[in-house]
Amino acid sequence: MVVPWEYLWPMATVTKKSHSFDSRLYDQIEDVAATEGVTPSALLAEGARMVLLVRRGLHEVAEWEADNSPLTPAELAAADRQLDAIGVPAAPGVAAANDTSGNPGVGAVTGT
């Protein structure tokens, strides 16, 4: 009996779920996935991982601010420049919340 090579390595557990998307959004997902040579599922999983990472980071900063003090506009601007320099896109709503909240800290975005 011949065992395919890929079966000799541990395989990731996959949970198959059904989700609904606006048809225009899903068309864009399919287009990007095809362009990048991945499946729509792989693209969506990557997006979900990014969202969770951003939310975890915002939560951690909010905890730090609760123990210390809110980050100042200058500190936030410096952090934005550092993230821009390494190609990390801004999280939606973060800059706007920091600019208009009266509290420049991340808590304005996270609700903490």
Share of the chain above pLDDT 70, in %: 70
Q: What is the dihedral of CA 39, 41, 44, 46, to 10 degrees?
A: -70
Could you tell me the pTM of the whole model?
A: 0.61
Q: How confident is the model at residue 16 (pLDDT cuts 50, 70, 90)?
A: confident
Domain positions in the chain: 22-110
What integer best gives the mean pLDDT of the chain? 80
**Cα-based distances in Å from 25 to 31, 32, 43:** 10, 11, 13
pLDDT tens, position by position, 25-51: 999 999 999 999 999 999 999 999 988
What is the structure's pLDDT at 15? Answer: 84
pLDDT tens, position by position, 95-109: 554 554 444 445 445
Q: Are 39 and 80 in contact (CB under 8 A)?
A: no
